[in-house]
Structure 1
Amino acid sequence: MKAASKSDGEPTPSEPDQETDDDVSVDSLPGIEDAGSDTEPLELDDVFHVLQNERRRNVLRYLDDVDDVIEMRDMAVQIAAWENDTTVQRLHSDQRQRVYIALYQSHLPKLDDLGLIDYNKPRGYVEPRPRLDRVQRYLNPEPSTESAPAETAATSAENERRETFLKTAGGAGLLVAAGWAGLLTPLLSGLSVATVVLAIFVGTVAYAYRSELVPSSAEN
Protein backbone atom coordinates (compact mmCIF):
# COMPACT_ATOMS: atom_id res chain seq x y z
CA MET A 1 0.00 0.00 0.00
CA LYS A 2 1.33 3.37 -0.94
CA ALA A 3 2.29 5.55 1.99
CA ALA A 4 0.14 8.61 2.51
CA SER A 5 1.76 11.82 1.35
CA LYS A 6 1.58 15.17 3.10
CA SER A 7 -1.12 17.64 2.09
CA ASP A 8 -0.46 20.13 -0.69
CA GLY A 9 1.78 23.00 0.31
CA GLU A 10 3.80 20.97 2.82
CA PRO A 11 6.56 19.24 0.82
CA THR A 12 9.18 17.31 2.69
CA PRO A 13 12.81 18.48 2.33
CA SER A 14 13.70 15.40 0.25
CA GLU A 15 10.89 15.72 -2.30
CA PRO A 16 12.70 17.94 -4.88
CA ASP A 17 14.86 14.94 -5.85
CA GLN A 18 15.79 11.57 -4.45
CA GLU A 19 19.56 12.10 -4.37
CA THR A 20 21.26 11.57 -1.06
CA ASP A 21 23.82 14.04 0.26
CA ASP A 22 26.61 11.64 -0.64
CA ASP A 23 25.48 11.54 -4.28
CA VAL A 24 25.25 15.29 -4.72
CA SER A 25 28.07 17.16 -6.40
CA VAL A 26 28.56 20.88 -6.09
CA ASP A 27 27.91 21.43 -9.79
CA SER A 28 24.53 19.68 -9.59
CA LEU A 29 23.25 21.61 -6.60
CA PRO A 30 20.39 24.01 -7.39
CA GLY A 31 21.16 27.55 -6.43
CA ILE A 32 24.90 27.29 -7.04
CA GLU A 33 25.35 29.73 -9.90
CA ASP A 34 28.03 31.97 -11.24
CA ALA A 35 27.45 35.30 -9.48
CA GLY A 36 30.22 37.04 -11.38
CA SER A 37 33.75 36.56 -12.55
CA ASP A 38 36.30 35.86 -9.84
CA THR A 39 38.63 38.28 -11.62
CA GLU A 40 36.05 41.07 -11.63
CA PRO A 41 37.11 43.91 -9.31
CA LEU A 42 35.26 44.30 -6.03
CA GLU A 43 33.99 47.77 -5.20
CA LEU A 44 35.30 49.30 -1.97
CA ASP A 45 31.73 50.17 -0.99
CA ASP A 46 30.88 46.48 -1.15
CA VAL A 47 33.93 45.58 0.92
CA PHE A 48 32.94 48.16 3.52
CA HIS A 49 29.35 46.89 3.56
CA VAL A 50 30.54 43.35 4.19
CA LEU A 51 33.00 44.24 6.93
CA GLN A 52 30.84 46.71 8.82
CA ASN A 53 28.68 43.89 10.20
CA GLU A 54 30.13 41.72 12.96
CA ARG A 55 28.18 38.63 11.97
CA ARG A 56 29.44 38.81 8.39
CA ARG A 57 32.96 39.28 9.73
CA ASN A 58 32.46 36.08 11.70
CA VAL A 59 31.41 34.32 8.50
CA LEU A 60 34.70 35.40 6.91
CA ARG A 61 36.56 34.27 10.01
CA TYR A 62 34.92 30.84 9.80
CA LEU A 63 35.68 30.51 6.08
CA ASP A 64 39.27 31.69 6.43
CA ASP A 65 40.74 28.17 6.29
CA VAL A 66 37.93 26.51 4.32
CA ASP A 67 38.55 25.32 0.76
CA ASP A 68 35.57 23.01 0.28
CA VAL A 69 31.80 22.89 0.69
CA ILE A 70 30.57 23.19 4.27
CA GLU A 71 27.18 22.93 5.90
CA MET A 72 25.65 26.23 6.85
CA ARG A 73 24.31 24.65 10.06
CA ASP A 74 27.84 23.97 11.33
CA MET A 75 28.85 27.55 10.55
CA ALA A 76 25.84 28.97 12.38
CA VAL A 77 26.58 26.92 15.50
CA GLN A 78 30.22 28.05 15.67
CA ILE A 79 29.39 31.70 15.02
CA ALA A 80 26.71 31.58 17.73
CA ALA A 81 29.33 30.23 20.15
CA TRP A 82 31.71 33.09 19.27
CA GLU A 83 29.02 35.72 19.67
CA ASN A 84 27.91 34.39 23.05
CA ASP A 85 31.47 33.79 24.28
CA THR A 86 30.84 30.14 24.99
CA THR A 87 31.43 26.70 23.53
CA VAL A 88 29.33 24.86 20.99
CA GLN A 89 28.35 22.33 23.64
CA ARG A 90 26.99 25.03 25.98
CA LEU A 91 24.90 26.88 23.41
CA HIS A 92 21.17 27.29 23.94
CA SER A 93 18.81 26.46 21.12
CA ASP A 94 17.54 30.04 20.90
CA GLN A 95 21.13 31.31 20.51
CA ARG A 96 21.74 28.90 17.62
CA GLN A 97 18.40 29.70 16.02
CA ARG A 98 18.94 33.46 16.14
CA VAL A 99 22.22 33.22 14.23
CA TYR A 100 20.93 30.55 11.84
CA ILE A 101 17.94 32.64 10.76
CA ALA A 102 20.05 35.78 10.24
CA LEU A 103 22.59 33.90 8.12
CA TYR A 104 19.88 32.12 6.14
CA GLN A 105 17.76 35.16 5.37
CA SER A 106 20.28 37.97 5.05
CA HIS A 107 24.03 37.56 5.38
CA LEU A 108 24.77 34.52 3.23
CA PRO A 109 22.53 35.67 0.34
CA LYS A 110 24.35 39.02 0.43
CA LEU A 111 27.77 37.36 0.23
CA ASP A 112 26.50 35.14 -2.57
CA ASP A 113 25.22 38.15 -4.54
CA LEU A 114 28.68 39.71 -4.32
CA GLY A 115 30.28 36.53 -5.65
CA LEU A 116 32.23 35.90 -2.43
CA ILE A 117 30.63 32.53 -1.75
CA ASP A 118 28.44 29.96 -3.47
CA TYR A 119 25.39 29.54 -1.27
CA ASN A 120 22.91 26.75 -1.89
CA LYS A 121 19.99 28.00 0.15
CA PRO A 122 17.65 25.00 -0.27
CA ARG A 123 20.27 22.52 0.92
CA GLY A 124 22.24 24.73 3.26
CA TYR A 125 25.62 24.37 1.59
CA VAL A 126 28.27 27.09 1.48
CA GLU A 127 31.48 27.16 -0.54
CA PRO A 128 34.02 30.02 -0.53
CA ARG A 129 35.02 31.54 -3.85
CA PRO A 130 38.43 33.00 -4.75
CA ARG A 131 37.05 36.54 -4.52
CA LEU A 132 36.60 36.03 -0.79
CA ASP A 133 40.36 36.46 -0.31
CA ARG A 134 40.08 40.07 -1.47
CA VAL A 135 37.83 40.87 1.48
CA GLN A 136 39.64 38.73 4.03
CA ARG A 137 42.89 40.60 3.45
CA TYR A 138 41.14 43.72 4.75
CA LEU A 139 39.96 41.74 7.76
CA ASN A 140 43.48 40.44 8.50
CA PRO A 141 45.91 43.06 7.15
CA GLU A 142 49.61 42.27 7.19
CA PRO A 143 51.63 44.27 9.72
CA SER A 144 53.02 47.45 8.20
CA THR A 145 56.79 47.83 8.12
CA GLU A 146 56.86 51.44 6.91
CA SER A 147 57.61 52.88 10.35
CA ALA A 148 60.20 50.24 11.23
CA PRO A 149 63.30 52.23 10.08
CA ALA A 150 62.23 55.33 12.03
CA GLU A 151 61.48 53.28 15.13
CA THR A 152 64.83 51.51 14.83
CA ALA A 153 66.69 54.82 14.48
CA ALA A 154 64.89 56.28 17.49
CA THR A 155 65.72 53.22 19.57
CA SER A 156 69.38 53.37 18.56
CA ALA A 157 69.59 57.07 19.44
CA GLU A 158 67.99 56.44 22.81
CA ASN A 159 70.41 53.61 23.56
CA GLU A 160 73.33 55.83 22.56
CA ARG A 161 72.19 58.64 24.87
CA ARG A 162 71.72 56.22 27.73
CA GLU A 163 75.14 54.67 27.22
CA THR A 164 76.82 58.10 27.09
CA PHE A 165 75.06 59.24 30.25
CA LEU A 166 75.99 56.07 32.15
CA LYS A 167 79.64 56.30 31.10
CA THR A 168 79.84 59.95 32.08
CA ALA A 169 78.15 59.38 35.42
CA GLY A 170 80.44 56.44 36.11
CA GLY A 171 83.53 58.49 35.28
CA ALA A 172 82.39 61.33 37.54
CA GLY A 173 81.73 58.86 40.34
CA LEU A 174 85.21 57.40 40.05
CA LEU A 175 86.71 60.90 40.06
CA VAL A 176 84.86 61.84 43.25
CA ALA A 177 85.84 58.57 44.93
CA ALA A 178 89.47 59.10 43.99
CA GLY A 179 89.35 62.64 45.39
CA TRP A 180 87.91 61.48 48.68
CA ALA A 181 90.54 58.75 48.93
CA GLY A 182 93.30 61.32 48.50
CA LEU A 183 94.60 59.80 45.30
CA LEU A 184 94.24 63.09 43.44
CA THR A 185 95.50 65.38 46.21
CA PRO A 186 98.92 65.98 44.64
CA LEU A 187 97.28 67.08 41.42
CA LEU A 188 93.91 68.56 42.29
CA SER A 189 92.45 70.19 45.35
CA GLY A 190 88.97 69.32 46.63
CA LEU A 191 87.57 72.43 44.99
CA SER A 192 89.09 71.46 41.67
CA VAL A 193 87.56 67.98 41.85
CA ALA A 194 84.13 69.47 42.58
CA THR A 195 84.52 71.88 39.68
CA VAL A 196 85.43 69.08 37.26
CA VAL A 197 82.50 66.92 38.42
CA LEU A 198 80.10 69.86 38.09
CA ALA A 199 81.35 70.58 34.58
CA ILE A 200 80.86 66.95 33.59
CA PHE A 201 77.33 66.95 35.01
CA VAL A 202 76.35 70.16 33.23
CA GLY A 203 77.79 68.90 29.96
CA THR A 204 75.89 65.63 30.25
CA VAL A 205 72.59 67.37 30.96
CA ALA A 206 73.13 69.75 28.03
CA TYR A 207 73.88 66.83 25.71
CA ALA A 208 70.76 64.96 26.81
CA TYR A 209 68.60 68.07 26.37
CA ARG A 210 69.95 68.72 22.90
CA SER A 211 69.45 65.08 21.91
CA GLU A 212 65.79 65.31 22.92
CA LEU A 213 65.27 68.48 20.88
CA VAL A 214 66.79 67.19 17.65
CA PRO A 215 64.30 64.33 17.06
CA SER A 216 61.38 66.63 17.95
CA SER A 217 62.54 69.25 15.42
CA ALA A 218 62.95 66.62 12.73
CA GLU A 219 59.44 65.25 13.33
CA ASN A 220 57.85 68.70 13.07
Structure 2
Amino acid sequence: MIELVADSDEDLSVRTLAREIAAREQDVPLERATGEPYRNVYNALSQTHLSTLSDADVIIYDSERQTVAAGPNLAIALLLSNLNQAALRTLQNLEYVNPDESDS
Protein backbone atom coordinates (compact mmCIF):
# COMPACT_ATOMS: atom_id res chain seq x y z
CA MET A 1 0.00 0.00 0.00
CA ILE A 2 2.83 2.38 0.81
CA GLU A 3 4.22 1.97 -2.72
CA LEU A 4 0.81 2.61 -4.28
CA VAL A 5 0.38 5.85 -2.36
CA ALA A 6 3.96 6.91 -3.09
CA ASP A 7 3.49 6.28 -6.82
CA SER A 8 0.31 8.36 -7.02
CA ASP A 9 0.27 12.10 -7.67
CA GLU A 10 -3.26 12.44 -6.31
CA ASP A 11 -5.47 11.15 -3.53
CA LEU A 12 -6.54 7.52 -3.88
CA SER A 13 -9.89 6.13 -2.89
CA VAL A 14 -9.91 3.28 -0.40
CA ARG A 15 -11.75 1.23 -3.02
CA THR A 16 -8.96 1.79 -5.54
CA LEU A 17 -6.32 0.82 -2.99
CA ALA A 18 -8.24 -2.31 -2.00
CA ARG A 19 -8.66 -3.33 -5.63
CA GLU A 20 -4.95 -2.78 -6.42
CA ILE A 21 -3.82 -4.73 -3.35
CA ALA A 22 -6.26 -7.58 -3.96
CA ALA A 23 -5.09 -7.84 -7.59
CA ARG A 24 -1.45 -8.05 -6.49
CA GLU A 25 -2.16 -10.56 -3.73
CA GLN A 26 -4.24 -12.78 -6.02
CA ASP A 27 -1.95 -12.23 -9.04
CA VAL A 28 -4.92 -11.34 -11.24
CA PRO A 29 -5.72 -8.38 -13.50
CA LEU A 30 -7.25 -5.38 -11.76
CA GLU A 31 -10.71 -5.99 -13.22
CA ARG A 32 -10.73 -9.51 -11.72
CA ALA A 33 -9.86 -8.36 -8.19
CA THR A 34 -13.39 -8.67 -6.86
CA GLY A 35 -15.47 -10.71 -4.46
CA GLU A 36 -14.20 -12.03 -1.16
CA PRO A 37 -10.47 -11.22 -1.71
CA TYR A 38 -11.38 -7.59 -2.45
CA ARG A 39 -13.74 -7.38 0.54
CA ASN A 40 -11.12 -8.87 2.86
CA VAL A 41 -8.54 -6.28 1.79
CA TYR A 42 -11.06 -3.44 1.98
CA ASN A 43 -12.10 -4.44 5.49
CA ALA A 44 -8.50 -4.85 6.69
CA LEU A 45 -7.64 -1.40 5.34
CA SER A 46 -10.72 0.22 6.85
CA GLN A 47 -10.58 -1.50 10.22
CA THR A 48 -6.85 -1.52 10.91
CA HIS A 49 -4.21 -0.40 8.44
CA LEU A 50 -5.44 3.04 7.41
CA SER A 51 -5.83 4.36 10.95
CA THR A 52 -2.49 2.87 12.02
CA LEU A 53 -0.62 4.43 9.09
CA SER A 54 -2.48 7.70 9.57
CA ASP A 55 -1.54 7.80 13.27
CA ALA A 56 2.11 7.38 12.21
CA ASP A 57 1.77 10.21 9.65
CA VAL A 58 2.66 7.82 6.83
CA ILE A 59 -0.63 8.64 5.10
CA ILE A 60 -3.37 11.20 5.40
CA TYR A 61 -6.65 9.31 5.65
CA ASP A 62 -9.90 11.18 5.12
CA SER A 63 -12.51 8.82 6.57
CA GLU A 64 -15.43 10.96 5.36
CA ARG A 65 -14.28 11.04 1.72
CA GLN A 66 -12.69 7.56 2.00
CA THR A 67 -9.45 8.81 0.43
CA VAL A 68 -5.77 8.37 1.15
CA ALA A 69 -2.92 10.76 0.39
CA ALA A 70 0.80 10.85 1.13
CA GLY A 71 1.66 11.85 4.68
CA PRO A 72 4.81 13.56 5.96
CA ASN A 73 6.44 10.24 6.93
CA LEU A 74 5.66 8.40 3.68
CA ALA A 75 9.20 8.66 2.29
CA ILE A 76 10.80 7.08 5.36
CA ALA A 77 8.13 4.35 5.44
CA LEU A 78 8.82 3.60 1.77
CA LEU A 79 12.55 3.41 2.46
CA LEU A 80 12.02 1.04 5.39
CA SER A 81 9.65 -1.10 3.33
CA ASN A 82 12.18 -1.37 0.50
CA LEU A 83 14.99 -2.26 2.91
CA ASN A 84 12.82 -4.89 4.56
CA GLN A 85 11.88 -6.46 1.22
CA ALA A 86 15.54 -6.55 0.15
CA ALA A 87 16.55 -8.16 3.44
CA LEU A 88 13.84 -10.82 3.09
CA ARG A 89 14.92 -11.63 -0.48
CA THR A 90 18.52 -11.95 0.69
CA LEU A 91 17.58 -14.26 3.53
CA GLN A 92 15.44 -16.39 1.23
CA ASN A 93 18.37 -16.78 -1.16
CA LEU A 94 20.87 -17.78 1.50
CA GLU A 95 21.52 -21.46 1.85
CA TYR A 96 21.16 -22.60 5.44
CA VAL A 97 24.24 -24.35 6.73
CA ASN A 98 23.84 -26.33 9.94
CA PRO A 99 27.02 -25.79 12.02
CA ASP A 100 26.62 -29.26 13.58
CA GLU A 101 26.92 -30.99 10.23
CA SER A 102 30.32 -31.31 8.67
CA ASP A 103 31.83 -33.16 5.76
CA SER A 104 34.68 -34.58 7.84
Deviations 1:48-94 (A, max 9, x none): xxxxxxxxxxx112112123211111011010001111111222311
> Where in structure 1 do 4 or more consecutive aligned residues deviate above 6 Å?
none
TM-score if structure 2 supplies the norm length? 0.73
Pick the structure with more strand per residue.
Answer: 2
TM-score if structure 1 supplies the norm length? 0.36
1:120-159 equivalences in 2 (<5 Å): 120-141=62-83
Assess if the C-alpha contact under 8 Å between 2:19 and 2:34 holds in 1: no
One-letter code of the match for 1:101?
N
1:82 and 2:24 are equivalent in the alignment: yes
1:123 CA drift (Å): 1.9
One-letter code of the match for 1:123?
R
Name 1:114's counterpart in structure 2. Answer: 56
Larger relative contact order (Cα-Cα within 8 Å, sequence gap ≥ 6): 2
Aligned length: 84
Deviations 1:84-135 (A, max 9, x none): 1111122231111110010011000000011111101122111111311011
Structure of larger gyration radius = 1
Alpha-carbon separation, structure 2, partners of 1:92 and 1:134: 31
Paired-residue identity, %: 31
User: Any unmatched runs of 5+ in structure 1?
Assistant: 1-58, 144-220
Alpha-carbon separation, structure 2, partners of 1:106 and 1:93: 20
1:1-220 equivalences in 2 (<5 Å): 59-141=1-83
CA RMSD in angstroms comes to 1.6
User: Any unmatched runs of 5+ in structure 2?
Assistant: 87-104
